[in-house]
Amino acid sequence: MSKITWDDAGSRFYETGVNRGVLYRQNSDGTYGTGVAWNGLTGVTESPDGAEATDLWADNIKYASMRSAENFGGTIEAYTFPEEFTQCDGSYSVIPGVYLGQQTRVPFGLSYRTEVGSDTTPTGEDAYKLHIVYGATASPSQKSYETINDSPNAITLSWEFKTTPINVTGHKPLSLITIDTTKLTSAADQAKLASLEDMLYGTANSDPTLPSPETIIALFDGSASAVKLSALSITGATLSPTFDADTVVYTTSVSGSSSTITATAETGATAAITVNGTAVTSGSSASWNTGSNLVTVVVSKSGSLSTTYTIGVTKSA
């Protein structure tokens, strides 16, 4: 057993800021389209409500207390917004630059980050919370335009939003998921976080998407499988050890100035190849530097953990 203490060094956490906003406009089938950066985001206020108590009385006592369903909404503030948000704000572009107001408002998803700091670690890239919102719709908002004077201010735009919770297998319907990276300390957890951010922000070979809550849960509880290669080869070279989908580090040697690299991902996945940091297409020729070279193959698929393979290639003089 141990005695409770307060405000120990390294335990004085705080949360601040908002950045890396991404908008995901909802499609007619309920899925979400390609994410786009929300530049100029200045604030997101989360405003849950509901969960109100209804007291039940019986036998001259307070017998029980029931809670109503909880709702989630909030306010977005920004200096500007992505073009894709115009339909979410009830506008329709008949031609570029001409917008019709009071049109159907399209639902959207949103992700953003808040920074986490402490008395021993300042805020920065190392610790943050990742907020993911589903099923949001924006309400009409007031816009105030004023003359420019000797103390000009940029107009801050503001939208209130409400959400419709979506069904999640094994849990109650939800509209919000929060990922606290201060709790993800292991290398395995960091790899899962990287895979999630690859989905949310995209990679060189995949568009940014909003994964379903089931996908995120499976990713972090370990039920999501890692996507792998089914074949990997370099012409004129023998990999050591012999290729196996579960082996990710290889070495080999070559004598020629170039070789063809072939990486075949399992069904539905993509394989991105780089040689000494330069992208190479599978089945095409890659040039070698004399001495050491590094081939990296990143296999990815939406909803799965990515896998990185490396080949150390030595070219003789």
Question: Same domain for 138 and 79?
Answer: yes
Let me know if residue 214 belongs to a domain. Answer: no
Question: CATH no. for residue 310?
Answer: 2.60.40
**Among 75, 72, 33, which Cα is nearest to 166's?**
72
- Partnered with residue 73 across adjacent β-strands are 162
Question: Same domain for 173 and 300?
Answer: no
Q: Are strands 41-46 and 73-78 parallel, antiparallel or unpaired?
A: antiparallel
CA atoms within 13 A on the CB side of 38: 29
Domain termination site, one of 181, 197, 220: 181
Segment 270-288 mean pLDDT: 91
Question: Same domain for 265 and 164?
Answer: no
At residue 232, what is the residue type?
L
pLDDT at 123: 67
At 102-124, the pLDDT tens digits run 999 999 999 999 999 888 887 66
| Count of structural domains, the chain | 2
Question: CATH no. for residue 126?
Answer: 2.30.110
Question: Same domain for 122 and 236?
Answer: no
Question: Same domain for 177 and 233?
Answer: no
Supply the mean pLDDT for the chain: 91
pLDDT of residue 3 exceeding 90, the answer is yes
At 195-240, the pLDDT tens digits run 899 889 987 767 888 988 988 998 888 777 788 999 999 999 999 9
Distances (CA, A) of 77 to 134, 153, 181, 247, 275: 18, 15, 25, 48, 43
Domain termination site, one of 181, 207, 238: 181
Let me know if residue 5 belongs to a domain. Answer: no
Let me know if residue 6 belongs to a domain. Answer: no
- What pTM was estimated for this model as a whole? 0.76
Question: Same domain for 30 and 147?
Answer: yes
Question: Same domain for 141 and 33?
Answer: yes
**Are residues 288 and 315 in contact, defined by beta-carbon separation less than 8 angstroms?**
yes
Let me know if residue 224 belongs to a domain. Answer: no
pLDDT of residue 125 exceeding 80, the answer is no
At 10-19, the pLDDT tens digits run 888 899 999 9
Question: Same domain for 38 and 137?
Answer: yes
Let me know if residue 147 belongs to a domain. Answer: yes
Domain termination site, one of 157, 181, 205: 181
Let me know if residue 213 belongs to a domain. Answer: no
Structural domain harbouring 292: 229-315
Let me know if residue 187 belongs to a domain. Answer: no
Question: Same domain for 48 and 154?
Answer: yes
Question: Same domain for 164 and 255?
Answer: no
Question: Same domain for 171 and 237?
Answer: no
Question: Same domain for 157 and 237?
Answer: no
Let me know if residue 203 belongs to a domain. Answer: no
